Amino acid sequence: MKSLLAQSVFAERRQRLMAQMKPHSIAIIPSAQLAPRNRDVDYAFRQDSDFYYLTGFDEPDAVMVLIPGREEGEYVVFCQDRDPEMEIWHGYRAGPEGLKSEYCADQAHPNGLIDNEMPSLLDGCERIYYAIGCDESLDAQVRGWLNAIRAHARQGAVPPTEMVMLDHLLHEMRLFKSEDEAELMRQAGEISAQGHVRAMQVCKPGMTEYQLEAEITHHFAVNRCRQAAYPSIVGGGDNACVLHYTENAEVLNDGDLVLIDAGCELDYYAGDITRTFPVNGKFSEEQKALYQLVLDTQEACIELVKPGTPWNEVHDLSVEIITRGLVELGLLKGDVEELVENGAYREFYMHRVGHWLGMDVHDVGDYKVDGKWRLLEPGMVMTVEPGIYVSPFNDKVEERWRGIGIRIEDDVLVTEAGHEVLTASVPKRVDEIEALMAG
């Protein structure tokens, strides 16, 4: 499927990356490959995020080469050649000509020529930017190309002498979203949000978790998002206390909560939303008390999201509010500061408050710079997702609290003026949820 972004966007990204590379350098970035699922069946193909970020090209088995300042062309791609017989079975390919005409490659070659062409492209370059260790097969090929150059040293061939990890330069670029990217993430957030609205509207006791998942997946698919950004979590009752529960196979019972963590992927950009609501449409008193505590925590943390806020400050606030609330409700006992310092809250709140979001659900980008927590800046997108999980086996609390798992998550863009919640259209207040579910 063609990207919603213009090819000029990908070209500008390549130019920005090459501008950061040292003189006389070359970058090698491979695509993803097909992965077998079971006999004669592959997993649905999903392009490598770094490769797609720079090309917009979503076919497997390709290698991109960037050579700043090369007169014959700075952007070279090796790809699958056209093959009419294979295309009958597996779909059309762009081929080298398509890479040049549709994806703006300066030069493109079939994969069969890569071992012949790469030594000459590497010859004379001083350093290679390459994510070594990520693809053992390509690592071996790179070593082979370097050895081929060394074999011609007497003829004046000069191999690169330095290998530089490309990740830091490229991932720092991906951390900051352009307005084009922000708009895609708004759309992904809205599609994801309406999937959660649909789930609230149709949920009723006796449904299964997978039936509720199917409602969300259907909404994603009819809105151009055939793949979810990650396996959807639909956990009813005790299952909501399992953070990465994905079996989604149990019956949803009257009186239980259901926690849904699901987001679509639109043109390689992820939505990521969690909502928790009562299966029968009405919160019990215990459910409401814990839910309101999580909601108050989330709203306070979202208010902190603005330029200049240290990353960890948002998490620290969530810990403080949740710990104080658990003491007030009687699930924890003791001095709040001491409980925070001793990590007593981790029995109920064991994950961080959020993560970067973008082309990957847990997106790339450093959380610390020079050993200090990073300051938020415009263009960053993060999730804010505090939670409380009272294990059904926790005999240190009253039985009425056990088996309640709650998480509330939204996607938040840092702006010049503060922040923008990209997933705000799905309800999260108790009265809003109950009203929506009442029809």
| Catalytic one of 269, 389, 410, 419 | 389
Contacts of 334 (CB under 8 A, 6+ apart): 327, 344
104: left (phi over 0), alpha (psi -120 to 50) or beta: left
* Pair 356, 381: CB distance under 8 Å: yes
Count the neighbouring beta carbons within 10 Å of the beta carbon of residue 254.
11
| Catalytic one of 46, 168, 198, 351 | 351
Whether 362 is a known active-site residue: answer: yes
Which residue reads 């923008």 in tokens? 420
Whether 261 is a known active-site residue: answer: yes
* Pair 51, 80: CB distance under 8 Å: no
Whether 272 is a known active-site residue: answer: yes
Contacts of 144-150 with C-beta under 8 Å, sequence gap 24+, read 144/115, 145/115, 145/118, 145/119, 146/122, 148/115, 148/119, 149/119, 149/122, 149/123
* Pair 407, 259: CB distance under 8 Å: yes
Whether 219 is a known active-site residue: answer: no
Whether 109 is a known active-site residue: answer: no
Q: How far is CA 196 from CA 123, 217, 273, 294, 388, in A?
A: 54, 10, 8, 18, 20
Contacts of 12 (CB under 8 A, 6+ apart): none
Whether 244 is a known active-site residue: answer: yes
Structure tokens, 390: 């009272």
Q: How far is CA 218 from CA 196, 201, 345, in A?
A: 11, 14, 37
How is residue 106 annotated by DSSP? S
| Catalytic one of 127, 168, 352, 355 | 355
| Catalytic one of 238, 385, 410, 411 | 385
Structure tokens, 292: 């309101």
| Catalytic one of 181, 190, 409, 410 | 409
| Catalytic one of 74, 261, 410, 411 | 261
* Pair 252, 279: CB distance under 8 Å: yes
Backbone φ, ψ for residue 279 (5° rounding): -55, -35
Whether 351 is a known active-site residue: answer: yes
Whether 431 is a known active-site residue: answer: no
Structure tokens, 253: 């019972």
| Catalytic one of 362, 366, 367, 429 | 362
Whether 355 is a known active-site residue: answer: yes
Whether 385 is a known active-site residue: answer: yes
Q: How far is CA 339 from CA 27, 98, 193, 331, in A?
A: 49, 61, 35, 12
Helices (H) then strands (E): counts for the chain: 13, 20
| Catalytic one of 74, 265, 272, 363 | 272
Helix/strand/coil for 240 = helix
- Show which residues are catalytic: 40, 244, 261, 272, 351, 355, 362, 385, 389, 407, 409
